[in-house]
């Protein structure tokens, strides 16, 4: 089964990048897809806090750490690698991957690679899309619009909206819906995955006492974002490959 690398990045902090990484890891787990994660938020490791057993903190500029991601794809039991790129490091990371031939290997079909580019409601954030466009040719490119602040991404200004979004011919767009602030903070405070929060489980797997209402908000939010993940080509490929592998095993 071909390995899939999902890069999640943004050149601006606070746009919901790690939230999208967490949502994707949760989604894959619910689909019974084994995934590993790398957190380049070195040394803090926001993603690592929620997935201490699964997300490794790495420094992408370090060659040894690059090898930990790229040279282990065939040997890892997991079929998907999610890399949460450090805020402000998206273009740099893509340039590194281009320079060492990783992007070309993906274009050649050695493995699948997709970039989920999380953008916020600012011109500076939208300008990033032009900057990364030169790297995304031949890769899966997903623009995630984060509606966490109920913004409208300049849809009220047709010229601005068209300038950035209408020209994205090779990109899929997804929308990160708003999650109730108190629910988000409660999950953050508990340091658990979204799935565990909904299941009312603490980080050590014990029954928790999270609010029924807040769990409901998170459940609804997960369902909304899962629906969008499920429509992505890369996700469909992952799930199809998993089904094929499962039926192959069953046949034997």
CB closer to other proteins out of 8 and 198? 198
DSSP three-state, residue 189: helix
Q: How many helices (H) and strands (E) does the chain have?
A: 11, 7
Rounded Cα–Cα distance for residues 28 and 55 (Å): 14
Least Å distance between CB 22 and other proteins? 20
Least Å distance between CB 212 and other proteins? 5
Least Å distance between CB 219 and other proteins? 8
CB closer to other proteins out of 209 and 252? 209
DSSP 200-238: TB-TTS-B----HHHHHHHHHHHHHHHHHHHTSHHHHHH
Say if strands 55-57 and 35-39 run parallel, antiparallel, or are unpaired. Answer: parallel
CB closer to other proteins out of 211 and 237? 211
CB closer to other proteins out of 95 and 220? 220
The site for other proteins (CB under 8 A) is made up of 180-183, 211-217, 219-220
Q: With beta carbons less than 8 A apart as the criterion, state whether 17 and 87 touch.
A: yes
CB closer to other proteins out of 98 and 181? 181
CB closer to other proteins out of 40 and 228? 228
CB closer to other proteins out of 86 and 215? 215
Distances (CA, A) of 140 to 24, 122, 143, 230: 15, 24, 10, 14
Least Å distance between CB 214 and other proteins? 7
Least Å distance between CB 197 and other proteins? 13
**Which long-range contacts (C-beta less than 8 Å, at least 24 apart) are formed by 230-235?**
231/172, 231/174, 232/114, 232/140, 232/142, 232/172, 232/174, 233/140, 233/172, 234/4, 234/6, 234/112, 234/114, 234/140, 234/142, 235/27
Least Å distance between CB 194 and other proteins? 15
Least Å distance between CB 182 and other proteins? 4
Rounded to 10°, the helix 17-30/212-230 angle is 80
């Amino acid at each position: 089964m071909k390995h899939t690398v999902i890069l999640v990045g943004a050149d601006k902090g606070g746009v919901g990048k790690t939230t999208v990484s967490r949502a994707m890891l949760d989604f894959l787990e619910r689909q019974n897809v084994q995934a590993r994660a790398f957190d380049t938020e070195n040394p803090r490791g926001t993603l690592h806090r929620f997935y201490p057993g699964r997300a490794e903190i790495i420094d992408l500029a370090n060659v040894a750490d690059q090898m930990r991601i790229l040279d282990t794809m065939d040997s890892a039991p997991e079929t998907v690698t999610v890399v949460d790129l450090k805020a402000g490091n998206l273009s740099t990371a893509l340039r590194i991957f281009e320079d060492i031939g990783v992007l070309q290997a993906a274009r050649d079909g050695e493995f699948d690679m997709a970039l989920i580019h999380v953008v916020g409601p600012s011109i500076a954030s939208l300008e990033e899309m032009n900057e990364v466009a030169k790297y995304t040719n031949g890769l899966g490119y997903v623009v995630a619009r984060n509606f966490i602040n109920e913004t409208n991404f300049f849809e009220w200004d047709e010229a601005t909206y068209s300038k950035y979004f209408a020209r994205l011919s090779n990109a899929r767009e997804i929308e990160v819906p708003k999650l109730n602030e108190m629910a988000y903070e409660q999950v953050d405070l508990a340091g658990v995955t979204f799935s565990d929060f909904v299941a009312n489980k603490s980080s050590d797997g014990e029954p928790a006492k999270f609010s029924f209402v807040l769990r409901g908000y998170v459940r609804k939010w997960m369902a909304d974002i899962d629906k969008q993940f499920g429509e992505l080509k890369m996700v469909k490929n992952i799930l199809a490959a998993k089904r094929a592998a499962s039926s192959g095993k069953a046949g034997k």
